[in-house]
A = this chain, B = another copy of it.
Amino acid sequence: MATNSLTQRVSSGEPAAVARAISKIEDGASDAAALMKEIYGLSRGALIIGITGAPGAGKSSLVDKLALLYRERGERVGIVAVDPSSPFSGGAILGDRIRMQTLGLDEGVFIRSMATRGNLGGLARATVDAVAILDAAGYAKVIVETVGVGQDEVEIVKAADVSVVVLVPGMGDDIQAIKAGIMEIGDIFVINKADRDGVYATEKELEALLSLTSRSDAWDPPIVKTVATENQGLTALADAIDKFRQTQLSAPASSERRRAIARWRIVELLRERLLARVLASDASVAMLERLADEVATRRRDPYSAVEELIKS
């Protein structure tokens, strides 16, 4: 019943209820699954925008300015900032505090940072659930921002309706390796800090790489140049996002994309549930500790440890 009334409060757009619902799914509360089953039935079809790119690309400024633009158009905006680089402490809270100065007083904006909790994983699952909660609460645009270019972050951005990859001019010697991976997830490419030297070279390089990338749909990913801190290029970015969505609504490829996202979500959740079931009892946690000790002191290998855990 408590869950039911929380769902109703989320549905009526109450920020405190949204915050509480997200905390529940982050903490893996016992009623989280029941809550999410209700929440998924309440989807209002928010546009989910995933934004990723290397550290230092100015993603946070870009996200904040894009949110302000949507606010000026009268839309409510949810922001989920995924911060996997701070699995221990600090980062997420620090980030939140900085952002609150720009957007935090606006009741039409909801900002939430998500960080890793312990070694049971589930960050990606918690993130997509948080997005679903914001959708149910009537935020018309939900922006998911990921710091970093790791595996989980790529998956999170792929689960969005539109994936935006942010680059900056002259990123150094890792740029080739990064680009090779993100070429295939970017629906829109942004060259931020476009008042810096090297924009032309970065744009040409990006065009060359894009010309080598094949997509399953007919979309030709545009390159948008922005200077987020100066509020330049944001309208062009919003236009590109709208245009992509319009194309997707009528494209057959997008149903395959939605199915791939759904498959990934089920597998992520399944992975987490199975692990939680095996480690549910005090006895199995004690067994894990004993096996960890044996593996640490090289009296046992991890493979036979796992076999013993599964057998029990």
Chain B contacts for A277, CB-based, 8 A: 310
Chain A: interface secondary structure? helix
Chain B contacts for A95, CB-based, 8 A: 177
A267 to B172, CA, bound (A): 36
The answer on a CB contact under 8 Å between A85 and B178 is yes
Instruction: Identify which of A56, A85, A304, A309 gathers the most chain B CB atoms within 10 Å of its CB.
Output: A85
Known: A54-B56, A150-B149, A261-B296. A181 touches B267 (CB 8 A): no
A residues 292-312 near B (Cβ < 8 Å) are: 292-298, 301-307, 309-310
Answer whether residue A152 sits at the interface, using C-beta atoms and an 8 A cutoff.
yes
Closest to A154 in B: B87
Chain B contacts for A307, CB-based, 8 A: 33
Closest to A300 in B: B40
Known: A58-B172, A86-B181, A149-B150. A270 touches B262 (CB 8 A): no
The answer on a CB contact under 8 Å between A180 and B55 is no
Chain B contacts for A119, CB-based, 8 A: 155, 263-264, 267
Closest to A35 in B: B303
The answer on a CB contact under 8 Å between B304 and A37 is yes
Answer whether residue A36 sits at the interface, using C-beta atoms and an 8 A cutoff.
yes
Chain B contacts for A60, CB-based, 8 A: 173-174
Closest to A172 in B: B56
Instruction: Digitize A115-152: 1 where CB-to-B-CB distance is under 8 Å, 0 elsewhere.
Output: 01001110100000000000000000000000111111
Known: A54-B56, A94-B176, A270-B278. 20 other contacts (CB 8 A): A36-B302, A40-B301, A40-B302, A55-B55, A55-B171, A55-B175, A56-B56, A85-B154, A86-B177, A88-B181, A88-B184, A91-B178, A119-B263, A121-B151, A148-B150, A149-B149, A150-B153, A259-B292, A265-B302, A274-B275
The answer on a CB contact under 8 Å between A267 and B275 is yes
The answer on a CB contact under 8 Å between B271 and A271 is yes
A61 → chain B, closest Cβ, in Å? 7
Known: A55-B54, A292-B259, A296-B255. A266 touches B302 (CB 8 A): yes
Out of B94, B152, B183, name the residue touching A152 (CB < 8 Å): B152
Answer whether residue A41 sits at the interface, using C-beta atoms and an 8 A cutoff.
yes
Answer whether residue A269 sits at the interface, using C-beta atoms and an 8 A cutoff.
yes
Known: A56-B171, A180-B90, A310-B273. A266 touches B278 (CB 8 A): no
Top 4 closest pairs, chain A to chain B, by CB: A150-B150, A56-B172, A86-B181, A40-B301
Chain B contacts for A59, CB-based, 8 A: 174
A11 to B19, CA, bound (A): 54
Answer whether residue A50 sits at the interface, using C-beta atoms and an 8 A cutoff.
no
Chain B contacts for A306, CB-based, 8 A: 266, 269-270, 273
Known: A85-B182, A302-B269. A296 touches B262 (CB 8 A): yes
Chain B contacts for A178, CB-based, 8 A: 55, 85, 91, 147
